[in-house]
Amino acid sequence: MPEPPNRKARAKSAPPTQENRDSDRPTLSPPFDVEAFARATAAAGAAPAGEGPPTVRAEVRAEQVTLTNEVELEIARAKSKRRTTPPRRANTPTALSMANSRVPSATNVPAARPAPAVGAVRSPAAPPPPAATPPAADAEPRSMSPSSIEAAVLGAIGSPAPEITERTIEDPIAEMRTRFSLGDYSGALEVAELLLAEDPADAEVIDCADKCRTVLEGMYAARLGSLEQVPAVIVQRTQLRWLSIDHRAGFVLSLIDGSSSLEMILDVSGMPRLDAMRILVELIAQRIVALR
């Protein structure tokens, strides 16, 4: 939904209080061209630490679509997760690092409880982390995908998401709690799953993961409607290969035969129900599949 222009102007002129900072955050444009700045810093290589962002421009960016729907946020997030381009290792703040700055995962945040050895978890396909480079607070290498809000920011500025390969979480439990409290259920679930890989018996983490799954499943279920509906591929077979989907979505697409119900497809997909539901929601949102 586009935001009313007067609200944006107010946000720009008035000093932010805690209250309006919270309410305005999703629609407040950065006071400079983030995209151009990100490109410039990436091109210039590593800038000296402490160098600030460019000065505030006279005009804010043109009004853009703001993602407010949780499902859309999840889709945007999933898209950003699929990116596998090489990591950007700039020490200067980038669009992503600024978006990350709200996440209380900085190295100096005191741990609320001893952190299990989840830090520095890497995706199996990712290259090993650079050994000697100390990570900067805002440009740390990561292994986890951005949260839904981050994805929304990335989607809104339209720039490609940087590769996410590795990230050290000082206090994963706190991270999980924060993400959950912010309504970033996918992000919270992701952290919870990493934690459970280390300690499968952690009651709090299990509880949080279950809650996240329930909420996310509910979200996707609401979007899909009755699972007795039969999905059909509405894109011509000859054009299928030109779609921008990954092989997992391609697999789900191959299960859609025009006679199997959503429930059946979820059963036979062999992937976690949540993943299959998310992919189905995406395929419908992209108008590749229609329900009848």
Give residue 62's identity as a one-letter amino acid code.
Answer: A
Judged by CB under 8 A, the stretch of 50-58, 62-70, 191-199, 237-245 that binds another protein is: 237-245
- Residue 59 binding another protein, by CB under 8 A: no
> Which one, 61 or 213, has the nearer CB to another protein?
213
Which DSSP category does 231 fall into?
E
Distance CA 265, CA 277 (A): 9
- Residue 122 binding another protein, by CB under 8 A: no
- Residue 268 binding another protein, by CB under 8 A: yes
- Indicate which single residue of 47, 182, 271, 285 sits in contact with another protein (rule: CB under 8 A): 271
**DSSP states of 123-179:** -TTSPPPPSS-PPPTTS---SS---HHHHHHHHHHTPPPPP--EE--S-HHHHHHHH
- Indicate which single residue of 84, 101, 107, 214 sits in contact with another protein (rule: CB under 8 A): 84
Of 272-291, binders to another protein (CB under 8 A) are 272-273
- Indicate which single residue of 248, 275, 285, 290 sits in contact with another protein (rule: CB under 8 A): 248
CB 130 within 8 A of CB 137: no
Q: Residue 179: which of 98, 79, 105 has the closest Cα?
A: 105
What's the min distance (Å) between Cβ of 83 and another protein?
Answer: 6
What does the block give as tokens for 130? Answer: 């650079």
- Tell the burial category of 252 from Cβ atoms under 10 Å away from its Cβ (0-12, 13-18, 19+): buried
- Residue 254 binding another protein, by CB under 8 A: yes
Alpha-carbon distances, residue 142 vs 99, 202, 233 (angstroms): 14, 24, 36
> Which one, 55 or 85, has the nearer CB to another protein?
85
Judged by CB under 8 A, the stretch of 10-18, 80-88, 137-145, 175-183 that binds another protein is: 80-88
Residue span 211-230 as binding mask against another protein, x where in contact by CB under 8 A, dash where not = ---------------x-x--
- Indicate which single residue of 249, 262, 283, 289 sits in contact with another protein (rule: CB under 8 A): 249
Q: Name the E strands within the chain.
A: 121-122, 166-167, 231-233, 289-291
Q: For binding to another protein (CB under 8 A), which residues are involved?
A: 82-85, 125, 226, 228, 237, 240-241, 243, 245-251, 253-255, 259, 264, 267-273
